Structure 1
Amino acid sequence: MRPEWMTLATRPVPRYTSYPTAAQFQDDVTDAQVQTSLASIGPDEPISVYVHVPFCEKLCWYCGCHTTIPNGYDRIARYVDLLLKEIDLWKAALPEHGGGVHLHFGGGTPNALRPDDMLKVLDALRDAFCITDTAEISVELDPRTLGPEMISALAAGGVTRASLGVQDFNRTVQEAINRVQPYMLVKGAVEALRKAEITAINFDLLYGLPHQTVQTVTASAELAASLKPDRISAFGYAHVPWFAKHQAAIDENSLPGTEERFAQYHAMAETLVSFGYTQIGLDHFALDDDELATALTSGQLHRNFQGYTTDTCKTLIALGPSGISEFANGFLQNAKDIRAYTEAIEAGRLPVTRGVGRTFEDSVRGAVIERLMCDMSVDVADVCSAFDAPLSMFDEAFLRLHDLEGQGLCHVSGSRVMVPENARVLLRNVAQCFDAYSKPDAAPANRHAKAV
């Protein structure tokens, strides 16, 4: 890493899975705002649906997601009942639309549900959101608790893609994050899913975990690639114990430093590329025949709360505590606290408690940031022209970019901005120049993860 990049690498920067980002969400959402958001959906407009399952059998210490340990199935069963009620509430609230073309289950651990409950939820979603026959239905899975009955239920329910949380295959690292899962267990899960004709497989890997080295992340990337998942995400571990209290269980002295994290990122990327994967944006990889790689080539790649995606929908309906819905005019977030979520559902109200509107300028800036995050280059004038917006909106951004260009993070030619390959890991720092809410020299340390 260049010495002058060290400060940038340790700077807190948004992930830009939305714009405005969640840091701008406010607690004063009104019913009128909710109704205005719903009214923004066109009668023929396709939608996406996200379902959050906030339970895990065992807590992984690295995790920053909204989840809890249920201590038995009773709490999960009650949650399934609440989820079915929330599905009915959205069904009644939504105007006519073009049907659901993407459905994603995240968590937590979606396979914490029993197979019959998973099928019950899938059936309800299909009915309420008019899920199309060609929809992509994806589920995040914990291979440690994935049994044959659940795999059969997922196949019967029409699931087309499975995303397995792998993180790392090294035993020492796994013990340090409280997630032990041998390679053969993951291999068995992949084989069982493919046998059930759920053939689209994603893996999640992490770098920057306790006790990881360049050698261990390289070995893990090689093992992951040997199973030939269609997509692999390679995220940097975000150590934010002020936000995720259980991360305090991780010994900070065992965490790699910034230069080591930088080296791990490049080692993992180089390994995956050597196995035939195409690097997608900041942290995703895909086989050449995967839709994600095709979308990158055609300029149709997008980015949302699930990361890089082929999903082009302007509307995302999120169910479950902490779920964030997206509309043309902004974002709405469900209550994070399960008690507040339960109270709203039982009272017959959508459990929305937070959110933020999206102004015209937000839309323009968001489009610029998305193209840069997806393509590593953007012609700002082209985006402005598409929105009929003045290029002068970005005068301050180009002044910021001038400073980064001097450090080798980007090249600016007229209104075109390009991030070179060797600076890919600092892509978010360049995107931040276009963010009117986040000043590069004043980002609150407790709101975002470090750039590397």
Structure 2
Amino acid sequence: MNAEIIRRYGESRLPRYTSYPTAPRFSPSIGAGTYRDWLATVPKSDPVSLYLHVPFCRSLCWYCGCHTTITQKDAPILDYLTVLKQEIRLVAKAIGQRQDVSDIHFGGGTPTIMTPEEFLDLTATLAAAFGIGGATEFAVEIDPRTLTVEMSEALGEAGITRASLGVQSFDPKVQKAINRIQSADQTETALSNLRKAGARSVNFDLIYGLPHQNVDSAIETARVASAMRPERFAVFGYAHVPAFKKHQRLIDTAALGDAHERHAQAEAIATTLCEAGYRRIGLDHFALPEDQLSIAADRQALHRNFQGYTTDTASTLIGFGSSAIGRLAEGYAQNDVAIGRYASLISSGELATSKGYRLTQEDRVRAWIIERLMCNFQVDFSAMPDGFELPDESFGKANLPLKTLLEEGIVSWRGDMLSVDTKHRFLVRTVASCFDAYLGETGRTHATAA
């Protein structure tokens, strides 16, 4: 790999493009009234996807970039769940019809921080408000350190089909440096209990670029984790943004690797997983050949949303909970990040939307291009959906950032097909950014490109 390419592009900070436009473009001009209007237009015939954010953890992981609150008490969690159930009913009423659900995803925080009884009560509220059936995919993010047998059984009773376990690294030195001590045995026990509960597909999250992490420890973590045979892996680069996440100041920046080291760790993990029988999916996911993610990749039917690469085809995503983001045909709507303000709004009978974004037709075109690049590493401009047109020359070969990538061999353009060179796929976010009309307009810091 060209060291100069890694230095020049690998250290740039770019969005992960789980949405377009990205969240820093959201504006307070989109509020509860607009969101309520958008909900009323959701087509009855289209199943929706639901995301529920549970923003609580028992301890703070210093690398974390999520919206979460640390609590040792149960009262704040119980209060929050009461409000969350109220929001579910408010949104269902705003839609005005019993909407079928294709996918449910619980994220956080630690969604399994609640008791089994509370979890089943929450899912019963969902089932009373929406059409949830045997075909609904049901996924939950899980901290293996706190998952009990009883909670695993409750997940099974609720109908869990997929689970995502946070692993990050099994290296004790790295774990101490990020304040997350987790053994391989804890992880394997959680995996076993989830299998018994009915989870058909389990994902492990791994992270590279952590403090004191090196190629050897990254390989060893990938080796131990792959031996447990989860169906999927998501492998993310640590985003060190202490100006945005102040607790990351607890991490020793001198112990963080540079762009070359990060790239070496990422490729070492990828090689280890591929040698173990996993297929590389998109930028940062891996899956066994028989997993639905692999099948979707073969069919070029992958999609990308706030949870990363997905087989979820729903055009409407409804977000519940503080900071949760919804995506509808008209645009994005995000709930208030502050738990107190979120709870106050919902308790008063109002939706908690604090900001969002109304999509233009140009946004939709750019979003389609970016998603195809992120999922397929290529985009066929002749296959653009009806009504999508390139509005100006900035989309084409006159695009100066793209022209530079063409000249350096990072991408190629043959006929209507723009493709990312195989050995430069780790720079796909750099390629996607060429079609981002808003990049650089905000002060938000993103993750490095490599």
State TM-score, norm by structure 2: 0.97
Change (3 A) 1:318 1:40: same
Look up the match of 2:83. Answer: 82
Look up the match of 1:300. Answer: 301
What is the 5 A alignment of 1:33-112? 33-96=34-97, 98-112=99-113
What is the 5 A alignment of 1:364-383? 364-383=365-384
Q: Do 2:18 and 2:306's aligned partners in 1 also have CA atoms closer than 8 Å? A: yes
Residue type of the alignment partner of 1:228:
R
Look up the match of 1:5. Answer: 6
Deviation at 1:160, TM superposition (A): 1.0
2:445 to 424, 444, 447: 447
Cα-to-partner distance string for 1:50-84 (whole Å, 9 max, x where unaligned): 00000000000000000011221111111111111
Look up the match of 2:429. Answer: 428
Look up the match of 1:200. Answer: 201
State the alpha-carbon separation in 2 of the partners of residues 177 and 123 from structure 1: 36
3-state secondary structure, aligned to 1:212: coil
Residue type of the alignment partner of 2:113:
A
What is the 5 A alignment of 1:327-338? 327-338=328-339
Residues matched between the structures, number: 448
Q: Do 2:92 and 2:98's aligned partners in 1 also have CA atoms closer than 8 Å? A: no
Q: Do 1:41 and 1:95's aligned partners in 2 also have CA atoms closer than 8 Å? A: no
Residue type of the alignment partner of 1:323:
A
What is the 5 A alignment of 1:261-276? 261-276=262-277
Decide which moves more: 29-38 or 110-119: 29-38
State the alpha-carbon separation in 1 of the partners of residues 276 and 67 from structure 2: 34
What is the 5 A alignment of 1:306-345? 306-345=307-346
Q: Do 2:241 and 2:445's aligned partners in 1 also have CA atoms closer than 8 Å? A: no
Decide which moves more: 396-405 or 115-124: 396-405
Cα-to-partner distance string for 1:218-242 (whole Å, 9 max, x where unaligned): 1101111101101100000000111
Moved over 6 A (4+): none
State the alpha-carbon separation in 2 of the partners of residues 81 and 39 from structure 1: 24
Deviation at 1:305, TM superposition (A): 0.3
3-state secondary structure, aligned to 1:143: coil
Unaligned residue ranges in structure 2 (runs of 5+): none
State the alpha-carbon separation in 2 of the partners of residues 341 and 292 from structure 1: 34
Q: Do 2:32 and 2:350's aligned partners in 1 also have CA atoms closer than 8 Å? A: no
Look up the match of 2:169. Answer: 168
Unaligned residue ranges in structure 1 (runs of 5+): none
Residue type of the alignment partner of 1:449:
A
Q: Do 1:334 and 1:354's aligned partners in 2 also have CA atoms closer than 8 Å? A: yes
Matched, 1:400 2:401: yes
State the alpha-carbon separation in 2 of the partners of residues 213 and 443 from structure 1: 34
What value does the CA root-mean-square deviation take over the aligned residues? 1.5
State TM-score, norm by structure 1: 0.96
Deviation at 1:388, TM superposition (A): 4.1
Cα-to-partner distance string for 1:184-231 (whole Å, 9 max, x where unaligned): 111111112112222321100000000100110011011111011011
Deviation at 1:100, TM superposition (A): 0.7
Cα-to-partner distance string for 1:335-357 (whole Å, 9 max, x where unaligned): 00011101101110111001001
Look up the match of 2:20. Answer: 19
Change (3 A) 1:39 1:90: closer
State the alpha-carbon separation in 2 of the partners of residues 292 and 388 from structure 1: 27
3-state secondary structure, aligned to 1:105: strand
3-state secondary structure, aligned to 2:203: strand
Deviation at 1:443, TM superposition (A): 6.5
State the alpha-carbon separation in 2 of the partners of residues 39 and 83 from structure 1: 20
Change (3 A) 1:31 1:183: closer
Deviation at 1:399, TM superposition (A): 3.4
State the alpha-carbon separation in 1 of the partners of residues 401 and 98 from structure 2: 41
Look up the match of 1:387. Answer: 387
Change (3 A) 1:292 1:274: same
Q: Do 2:159 and 2:198's aligned partners in 1 also have CA atoms closer than 8 Å? A: no
3-state secondary structure, aligned to 2:152: helix
State the alpha-carbon separation in 2 of the partners of residues 395 and 40 from structure 1: 34
Change (3 A) 1:211 1:445: farther
Look up the match of 1:150. Answer: 151
Aligned-residue sequence identity (percent) comes to 44
Change (3 A) 1:443 1:428: farther
3-state secondary structure, aligned to 1:434: coil
Q: Do 2:54 and 2:108's aligned partners in 1 also have CA atoms closer than 8 Å? A: yes
Residue type of the alignment partner of 2:373:
L
State the alpha-carbon separation in 1 of the partners of residues 444 and 371 from structure 2: 24
Residue type of the alignment partner of 1:104:
H
Residue type of the alignment partner of 1:364:
V
